Structure 1
């Protein structure tokens, strides 16, 4: 799909159900998301927190045939390291199953990388569950390198 056919925009509250549906539509997301109607209140609370934070952007991509064909969250994080440099953290990436392999994910990432440059970031980083081998291969194809070992502590 050509970049001109895609629209990248800030998500609205009206997009929230479609975003959660995307996040829930895979084996890992199905276990941790609650894609019911109405959505549980914490989703709206999280959306509102993201929406009012100037260092967080929830971005959706629309195609001519499908609104919210993809989503990612971009968070800008200041660091003391790297001479007080800023990083962009990409999370919550999904492209609708019926829209994959058409270049939408690649263009969504290019949009996010360009946005990080505009914001003055020196680095774009992401994590991916080790079980998402296709996603990791995709990220590596975009030039991301597994240079660090990520660790998490669930609370």
Structure 2
């Protein structure tokens, strides 16, 4: 049975390994131990922020998935709240087995419980399978996303 819970400090090394375990993450994450201090600082900031949740999926007492859920107040839609799903990863040996879908659905349930009107996410254009995965769950590509790396 999959268990979803808030990430704990002792999960951080495993989370970073998950983030690095794909074609894009290998080039941008640093899995050296001890972890880079920036990961520690980011984890602390996320943990202390009531508008952020770092959710892990656990199977057989092992963290096999992660996503970050961030709540943002908006003036649009009559001052409603949105949630952004980011950093979604499932361990490679668990992909294609329903773990990712279960994790996203858990994030959506949590967002609904907080009264969120809209859940959004982005996926890198190089991840064509991910786009189809999110569409299968019900997400629609209604906007063109843009980023500026600083």
TM superposition score category, shorter chain reference = over 0.9
Q: Does 1:42 align with 2:68?
A: no
Q: Does 1:31 align with 2:15?
A: no
CA distance in 1, matches of 2:62, 2:76: 39
Match of 2:14 among 6, 18, 24: 18
- How far did 1:96 drift? 0.3
**Aligned-residue CA RMSD (Å):** 0.7
- How far did 1:26 drift? 1.0
Could you list the runs of 4 or more consecutive aligned residues of structure 1 that deviate by over 4 angstroms after TM superposition?
none
3-state SS of paired residue (2:149): coil
The answer for unaligned runs of 5 or more in structure 1 is none
TM-score normalised over the length of structure 1: 0.95
Paired residues for 1:49-68 under 5 Å: 49-64=45-60, 66-68=61-63
The answer for unaligned runs of 5 or more in structure 2 is none
Q: How many residue pairs get matched?
A: 150
CA distance in 2, matches of 1:29, 1:147: 26
